[in-house]
Amino acid sequence: MISAWARALVGAGVATLLMALSTSTLSANASPVLLTRLGSVQEVPIDLEARASPACAEYVVIATRGTFEAQGPTPALSGMTNYTLGNITGGIAYQTVYPAGDWTHQLGADDIVRRIEQGLTDCPAQKYVLLGYSQGATATAIALYNYTDINSAGYKAIAAVVVVGNPAKRANRISNVDQVGGSWTNGTNGVYIKLVPTIPDVWYSTKTLDVCWADDLVCNGLNFFSVINLMINHLLYKVASVQNLGAAHIIKQLKIALA
């Protein structure tokens, strides 16, 4: 069942999507117990890119891609990553190393946390920007549970968070914006709200932007238009306007953190 749903997440057919919805979203009994993790997934080797980078950076952008995207930058986050690196010198980008297969968000979170912990030890002044798309938003949310103490070094070092197409977006949060920075999708929960961890309360703050495209089924939930659109609006985040929206948030928060 979860395979069908995960495939729907990357744009599979109508029948698959509706089947997945009817089994996992619409059922009052939908339970994480039914959702098994792949037994064959291997732990992945620690980040090569960042280890090869010279000493410490001013900041590290940690970007986590969505389900079934190939290891590397996702178009849903690479524009805002590039604009940030272009506007504020001294940064590097790190692509979270994880399989991005069915239900592998914990492995993504593990790698994000490992990268931050390595940085906190080796480079105490370094800041972090966490970006996540789709399953990558869930991995980012899980990682943030390690940094909920606002007096901790980790909390202070994470300057900004941007998630797009967040499967467990929570309704009516200060961080919520639609694709043009408005409030169209503010009042809705993501379809996975009861199935995967959502962003911790303390991170629904001015540091975080949770971008949900109107009628993106994944983050905006089930409604007439999201069913008509199926997964299309989940695939639109790469457009320049959304990338600029994310970049503007990151740049503003990074400047505060680096000041």
Residues 105-124 that bind ligand NAG (CB under 6 A): 109-110, 113
Residue window 127-156: x/- pattern of binding to ligand NAG, with contact defined by CB under 6 A: ---------------xx-xx----------
- Mark the segment that binds ligand NAG (CB under 6 A) among 4-12, 20-28, 42-50, 78-86: 78-86
Single out the segment in contact with ligand NAG by CB under 6 A; choices: 62-70, 83-91, 130-138, 194-202: 83-91
Q: How many residues bind ligand NAG (CB under 6 A)?
A: 25
Where would I find the beta strands (DSSP E) of 76-135?
A: 91-95, 127-133
Are the C-beta atoms of 192 and 138 separated by less than 8 Å? yes
Residue from 3, 16, 53, 82 in contact with ligand NAG (CB under 6 A): 82
- Identity of the residue, 4 or 158, whose beta carbon is nearer to ligand NAG in the bound complex: 158
Residue nearest to ligand NAG (CB): 86
The Cα 169–Cα 100 span in angstroms is: 19
CB of 5 to ligand NAG, least distance (A): 22
Dihedrals φ, ψ of 115, to 5°?
-65, -40
Please give the C-alpha separations between residue 133 and each of 7, 84, 108, 126, in angstroms, as whole numbers: 15, 17, 12, 23
Q: Does 46 engage in binding with ligand NAG (CB under 6 A)?
A: no
- Please, is 53 exposed, middle or buried when counting C-beta atoms within 10 Å of its C-beta (0-12, 13-18, 19+)? middle
Pairwise CA distance, residues 53 & 99, whole Å: 23
Q: Round to whole Å and give the CA distance between 9 and 69.
A: 11
Binding site residues, ligand NAG, CB under 6 A:
78-79, 82-83, 86-87, 109-110, 113, 142-143, 145-146, 172-174, 176-177, 182-183, 186, 244, 247-248, 251
